[in-house]
Structure 1
Amino acid sequence: MQVFVDADACPAVIKDMLFRAAQRTRMTVTLVANQYLRTPPSPFIKSIQVPAGFDAADARIVELVTSGDLVITADIPLAAAVLDKAAHALDPRGNWFTRENIQERLTMRDVSDQLRSAGIDTGGPAPFSTRDSKAFAGQLDRFLARHGTARRETNE
């Protein structure tokens, strides 16, 4: 199992949690972005810089992700593509994208896009908070407890 991060808009506190988890569990965390990313030196932490362009990072993540991997993203269409590949998708606020909720989230995203293009202010998401980072940490820890052990054992 690997972790891929849609890193352009991922909060620094979430990246730091993932860096610590990579070291602790010896799993690979790969950040994908269209800009240079500074990462701590580690054999378990990688970064991929993709060319600037609409959804270039998303396309690279979809290309690399395999069944069982974890993708950290707030991008709903990317999460849908990840789920189609039998991988897991978690947003930086600690909310899971699932087969049960992805269609509703895509629909709500489309409605919000239509409202914005009609000139209606939809307000956008709330600012990222300490509560969000704690929710993410809890979900990540539970996920790694369930899924991370098999990979660690095969690498030791």
Structure 2
Amino acid sequence: MKILVDADACPVKEEIYKVAWRHEIPVTIVSNSPIRIPAHPLLDRVVVSDGFDAADDWIAERADGASVCITADILLADRCLKAGATVIAPNGKPFTHSSIGAAIATRAIMADLRAGGDQVGGPPPFGKNDRSRFLQALDETIVRLKRGR
């Protein structure tokens, strides 16, 4: 098992480290620019080019049934799900085969509204409850995967 993190805007890296260390699971932090990570044998950092979707491509190419991918990017989540990975958003909500279609559709609608000049708000501010929900979701996911789903 491994954890792949779309790290450039990930607000829960510290939480990922804690859960990974407890379960002794390797983590790869993928970003377009260097990000400081603790010195630990289970942590690896990959810095990809600043090309469009370079981090997403790196993660999607390595995602598989033994991967837990952490991302807020809906299109990356879709690619990882198709590769067999388990995907969790930083707010703790899982992306699933049954929910990804609606998420992609909502993303497209919001993009169309923004393109049309409509003022649409972004996601709510990331809060303490999101952090707690993420910790719980990641831990439960890892326990479930260790037990064989």
Length-normalised TM-score, structure 2: 0.95
Q: Give the share of equivalent positions with the same residue, in percent.
A: 37
Contact 1:6 1:32 in 2 (8 A): yes
1:9 is aligned to 9
Match of 1:141 among 115, 118, 139: 139
- In structure 2, how many angstroms separate the alpha carbons of the residues matched to 1:96 and 1:19? 19
Q: CA deviation at 1:67?
A: 1.5
How far apart are residue 132 of structure 1 and its match? 0.4
Cα deviation digits, residues 48-84 of structure 1 (max 9, x gap): 0000021110000011112131000000000000010
1:29 & 1:149 partners in 2: Cα distance?
A: 19
Greater mean alpha carbon deviation, residues 17-26 or residues 99-108: 17-26
1:49-60 correspondence to structure 2 within 5 Å: 49-60=47-58
How many residue pairs match? The answer is 148
**Does the residue aligned with 2:64 lie in a helix, a strand or coil?**
coil
Is 1:127 the counterpart of 2:125? The answer is: yes
Q: Does the 8 A contact of 1:33 with 1:50 survive in 2?
A: yes
- 1:69: which partner in 2? 67
CA–CA distance in structure 1, aligned partners of residues 116 and 33 of structure 2: 31
Runs of 4+ in 1 over 3 A off after TM superposition: none
Q: What is the alpha-carbon root mean square deviation over aligned residues? A: 1.1
- Does structure 1 conserve the Cα–Cα contact (< 8 Å) formed by 2:16 and 2:135? no
Q: What is the CA deviation profile of residues 72-104 of structure 1, one whole-angstrom value per residue up to 9, with x for unaligned ones?
A: 000000000001001111000010100101011
TM-score, normalising length: structure 1? 0.91
In the aligned structure 1, how far is the partner of 2:41 from the partner of 2:119? Answer: 45
Q: Which residue of 2 aligns with 1:154?
A: none
